[in-house]
Amino acid sequence: MAPVVRALARHRGVQSVVCVTAQHRQMLDQVLELFDITPDIDLNLMTANQGVGDFAATALAAINRVLDDVRPDVVLVQGDTTTASMGALAAFYRRIPVGHIEAGLRTNDPENPFPEEINRRLADVVSRYHFAPTRASADALRREGYRAKSIHVTGNTVVDALQFMVAHTKGVALPAAKPGEKLVVVTSHRREAFGEPLRRICQALLDVSAKRRDVRFVYPVHLNPNVRGPVHELLGNHPRIELIEPLAYDAFVRLMSQAALIVTDSGGIQEEAPALGVPVVIIRDKTERGEAVAAGAARLAGTTTAGIVRAVLAELKRTRRVKRNVFGDGRASDRIVKILVAGRRR
């Protein structure tokens, strides 16, 4: 959303109000600082051991109060977080038009990813503007019966953010592969991976390391204890698997750009890596970003140890860089603002 905030600020005919829930406090603050954004309203809603349902209820009530005070003409939400779905629903209850950025992504499985598949569907249902990142996501919306005039293919704003960060990031010290080694970056944080699936992922990294001694894994480990505990237990003493703390966005962008391969269950990284020319192994059973797989920029590995090992080894044998980015050209934010302003004038 940061590039959209910046694009709105450049337009004289728009007054924007930035409201954050602080669903991920530490990561949020890093990104706000990097993009030089100061929220107008910081709800700071997170509490220790907060369940999804508890957070959803708290967010809906808090955002509802914000809308009573601000009375906006349009509410923009981005992606598939609980914040996005509750923000969209609160606006709908106030009969305020909603614009959903990153609309139309689908796995068609309510349990995978959980709860994101339902979050984004809910946001789409109540939105007037569907800002679809690709033709495939726009086609998904049309198949579900959304009006053609509500659907706008803009590209994904994540590419805008990535290009901004590449241009402004310099001099960040990072882990690096030794001469003759291939650097593979790993991330895993999804709720459906907690427990046995995460242990299978860790075992796959150990198996690849045994087969390919020229590979160095760098794994920024998510702060969630459901991730940190098993990862450090299983991988903590391996000489070629480097576990590090989560990185600020600028540092992580630089790390990705230096990688030979990225292994991830992240949705955003499935888009960022191709934009950087880096292939991806997706350690999930399903992906809502099939465009990257179809373009040869990503490989869907599943969550079995054997499947992940096969996919990683196959990608490591390929020496090519990704040449086609299917998720945008870096101008999605300007397109979104132009559409909103034109709609307001009508």
Task: Measure CA 195 to chain center.
Answer: 22
Q: Which residues are catalytic?
A: 80, 102, 116, 189, 191, 222
Torsion of CA 128, 131, 135, 140, to 10 degrees: -50
CA angle 274, 190, 328 (to 5 degrees): 25
Helices 196-211, 225-235: axis angle to 10 degrees equals 30
Q: How far apart are CA 222 and CA 253, in angstroms?
A: 16
CA angle 273, 278, 282 (to 5 degrees): 60
Kindly state the tokens that stand for 13: 């005919």
Rg of the chain taking only CA atoms, in angstroms:
20
Strands of 52-181 (E only): list them: 75-78, 98-101, 129-132, 151-153
